[in-house]
Amino acid sequence: MKKVVTFGEIMLRLTPPNWRRFSQASSFEVIYGGGESNVAVSLANYGIPTQFVTRLPNNDIGECALMEMRKRGVGTQHIARGGERLGIYFLEIGAVSRGSKVVYDRAHSAMSTIEKGMIDWETVFKDADWFHWTGITPAISQGAADACLEAIQMANKMGVTVSTDLNYRKKLWKYGKEPGEVMPDLVAGCDVILGNEEDAEKHFGLHPEGVDVTHGDSVDAKAYLSVLQQLMEMFPRSKKVITTLRGSISASHNTWSGVLWDGKTLFEAPTYQITHIVDRVGGGDSFMAGLIYGLLTYPNDDQQALNFAVAASCLKHTIYGDANLSTIAEVEKLLSGDASGRVAR
């Protein structure tokens, strides 16, 4: 069985219930999640052995985050302990014409104070087949960026496939470095790259050539090809470059698809209409988890892997919380064309 390792920060998510605004909240619903932990949870849910690596504080809230990972079947034995606190983010879930809103409270978190040398990556990657990180991790702090680079270099040395979701987060790059100073060295070690046109522009200054990628509420899949080609040219180690295609009709109604470029062929997945979105946070993470599962399960069929990723992440939008808790059977049912949502008895 293939083993996947992910590395990043897990946070405490606090959300006002019932689509309320922050100013209306008298209570918050508690969820634990983060980009890389969400990927680990999805993969564990698909039966893939996973290890999530992070740094957690030695207090009750750190224990709660640890228990959440264990509850979902994610391996935690390589998690470092120490630091002051768990990072927090507040999420106000939007609806219709009002978009969702995120407020971060993660300064001085345990993960932000991680340093190179705190994780024994050679031990972590023993018997591992895949390592995944996102652009959120090096945005947190110099120490997190250094630890991430250390992990990528060891994974490359040990022959472990490396993937990244570029995930540009403007609010996080606050420690004195610009993304373009940090990200190229990390992405250079990646075999699989997921990123949209904003990620490519903000991290590397790449732009779509000659066309707009969006036309109103629709998304032109082929317009992304130039971005994918430029990313592959900039990072020649990469074997596959992928982007999700989201058309935002409203906060409650999106179109959803994706494309994959392998250097020769542009694969395009079917487009889904996602109406009455329950929770879109973690949509990209669920796509990445579905893609990793697909590439491991269908190693010679990129179209099938891409289709699985899009269907899996489509279902995530119907699930409250950061992580995708849909099953393989549910994804395969949607892939077969059954989107009826009928009660299973």
Domains for the chain: give ranges and CATH numbers: 4-335 (3.40.1190.20)
pLDDT at 239 over 90: yes
| DSSP string for residues in 105-150 | E-TT-TGGG--TTSS-HHHHTTT--EEEEETHHHHH-HHHHHHHHH
pLDDT of residue 344: 75
- Name the band, by pLDDT with cuts 50, 70 and 90, for residue 345: low
pLDDT at 214 over 60: no
pLDDT of residue 221: 75
What's the rounded mean pLDDT across residues 297-323?
97
pLDDT of residue 212: 55
pLDDT at 116 over 70: yes
pLDDT of residue 171: 87
Residue spans of beta strands (DSSP E) within the chain: 4-7, 11-15, 29-33, 50-53, 55-56, 80-81, 88-92, 101-105, 130-134, 161-165, 192-194, 214-215, 218-219, 240-250, 253-261, 266-268, 272-275
pLDDT at 98 over 90: yes
